[in-house]
Chain A
Amino acid sequence: MEATATPRITCAYLNSYVGRNVIIVGKVIQLRGEEALIDADGNITAHLNREAHLLAGNGAQIIGKVNPDLSIKVLSSLDLGTSVDYNLANTVVEISHQHRDIFADN
């Protein structure tokens, strides 16, 4: 049950979450075949799966595993359209790390 928690992180937190499943919300900067560059307070390389339908310039939420090279192996992705408030998303990441008792542990 507890293992299902997927912390929300930004680029700055990648280091601390190698090998874990995380949620990242950011803007799709570039799409290159099965690879996407996503800006979540810093650029993150995401290795997409076949089902991914992301659009460059749109917001996206990806859930995936952090690889040792700090790229993401995407398990699930969601196109969020164009009206995503990225500052808000980054703030929520900070808040969720300050109040771990009601968000994911470590």
Chain B
Amino acid sequence: MTSYGGYQRTGYGAQGGDDGGGFMSASQQGSQGGSGSGQRNSGDDTLRPVTIKQLIDWKEAFPNADPAIDGLPTSQVTLIGQVRSAAQQAVNVTFRIDDGTGQIEVKKWFDADKPHSMPHFDTDTYVRIYGRLQTYNGKHHVLAHSIRAIVDFNEVNYHLLEATYVHLALTRGAGAASGNAGQQQQGDGDDSMFVDGGYGAGGGGGEGGTSGSVQARLALCSKNARTIFSCLANAPGTDGMHLTRVASATGLSPKDVMAGAEELVAQGVIYTTQDDETWAILDF
């Protein structure tokens, strides 16, 4: 929700909000308004790793409220657990899944004409589930898109850590979480599986959270790029600064400014405004 709002503000509001880009602004607002009134926000469809306790603990804020965990709308979830029981009906199987934090029912529909498509797992097998969180008669269950057996047990532990990471990123801001996970991520050659800053922005982690992720991305840039970034950060207004002004303010050559700005654009911390040689800070 918030991340979407941020995109809207910086992407369109900054340019089209006044008089110049009226047409563009209007058409964009129109399509965004339309998707909003359709109740589904793309943010709702973020796939979230969860523990079963999180799914059980979720309480409806009001009747028929959309599921929300840690205050963030959550419909698509992934979880792990052991199959405790399976009850087969005509066109679906209901599994009772236990991950040690609680138990929840997971339903998987199958094609009745193709009996072999019915999922089968031995009792106590660890499975990975991707599905949608649903409520029926006040009881929560997961409608599974996919269930597969877990071959490598370490996936269980990895999932529990991932669920904790996302929970912390949402409740404490991405900055705090990346601080905790920093050591692990360095080992992975910064090959993070998460969309950069996505959780921090979405969770309303506040300034601390987002500036943390910006700092992390700046750390990957060259010294020139960081100089340009701090120059742009002090630029007045929302139209950004032109190449020549950046060059004179930083004392760098236009070529260096161009190269540094390209680095920053690639990191997604600045964007081009009026033309290809004018940049502004992408302010979350």
Contact = CB atoms under 8 A, between A and B. Distances in A.
A64 interface: no
Nearest to B82: A78
B102 A8 contact: no
A99 interface: yes
A5 B154 CA distance: 20
A81 B151 CA distance: 10
B157 A89 contact: yes
A23 B102 CA distance: 12
B124 A76 contact: yes
A7 B100 contact: yes
B100 A102 contact: no
Interface residues of B, number: 24
Contacts of B101: 5, 96, 102-104
Given A95-B161, A99-B168, A103-B51, A5 B124 contact: no
A80 B153 contact: yes
Interface residues of A, number: 29
A2 B103 CA distance: 8
B157 A88 contact: yes
A104 B100 contact: yes
A99 B157 contact: no
Given A78-B124, A102-B53, A92 B161 contact: yes
Interface in A79-94: 80-81, 83-85, 88-89, 91-92
Given A88-B158, A92-B161, A102-B51, A1 B102 contact: yes
B191 interface: no
23 contacts: A1-B102, A1-B103, A7-B100, A59-B153, A76-B124, A78-B82, A81-B153, A83-B152, A84-B154, A88-B158, A89-B157, A91-B157, A95-B160, A95-B161, A96-B101, A96-B164, A102-B53, A102-B101, A103-B53, A103-B100, A103-B160, A104-B100, A104-B102
Q: In the A-B complex, list the 4 residue pairs whose CB atoms are closest, starting with the nearest.
A: A80-B153, A92-B157, A4-B103, A23-B100
Given A61-B153, A104-B100, 7 more contacts: A2-B102, A25-B153, A78-B124, A83-B154, A88-B158, A95-B160, A104-B102
Interface of B: 50-51, 53-54, 56, 82, 98, 100-103, 124, 126, 152-154, 157-158, 160-161, 163-164, 167-168
Interface of A: 1-2, 4-8, 23, 25, 59, 61, 76, 78, 80-81, 83-85, 88-89, 91-92, 95-96, 99, 101-104
